[in-house]
Amino acid sequence: MDYQLVDYLSGFITDERNELFERILDQRTKYLTVVLENIYQPQNASAAMRSVDCFGLQDAHVIENSNSFEVDREVAMGATKWLSVKSYNKKDDNSLDAIRSLRQKGYRIVATTPHEGDTNLEDFDLRKGKAAFVFGTELTGISDVVKNEADEFLKIPMHGFTESFNISVSASVILHHLTWKMRNDPEIDWRLSPEERAAIKLEWLRRTIKSSDLIEEEYYAHQGGATSSK
């Protein structure tokens, strides 16, 4: 990570914007992440992405099997600009590809669906380590692949006639409760590492500054011909 580049590009935004970036990075986390599997309604997917940003998660994972991920800009309100979104759409079984990738990063796979032996939201143990919450399609829920591969199952207790919330509401309820619980538990190391923090800020700067690629070229030229890591 070229920390000097981050400092250099920071000089091309206002002090107010820089302070905003730093303040949000203070609350950003990769300890929790959201996985959207094969969502076909852009409004729901976009609202879920908005919740991911609002509750301070940095990463979102999108599995595209039979449905393509589309952002409804009016609903997302620009949230995806600030998130690190990983898409899985190149394999025959994109769900399994996503699960393997997340496990390699140390995440336990948590399926958000009623299941025998599932855990109520209030009882979910955050101290066991990083968690990736998988939300499935509006009609059929998560796939059998996710059900078979999941490490844990999580449900929101229901007290009405209907059996579930829609995807975006479920994500909001779960993230609100668990991020509050996470941030108030001194035993959980949920904050970004210095390298993660710098890497995210660099991406935000690149997306914010006009002609940032040309500015980077000038920076590396003055550094003696070193090449950009972009």
Q: How far apart are CA 147 and CA 110, in angstroms?
A: 9
Burial pattern 110-146, b for ≥16 Cβ within 10 A else e, equals bbbbeeeebeebeebebeeebbbbbbbbbeebbbebb
Residue 137, annotated as binding a ligand: no
Write the CB contacts of 9 (distance below 8 Å, at least 6 apart in sequence): 202, 205, 206, 209, 212, 215, 216, 219
Q: How far apart are CA 144 and CA 134, in angstroms?
A: 12
Please report the beta strands in 44-169, taking only residues with DSSP state E, as ranges in sequence order. 59-63, 84-88, 108-112, 119-120, 131-135, 152-155
Binding annotation = 112, 156
Binding annotation for S-adenosyl-L-methionine = 112, 156
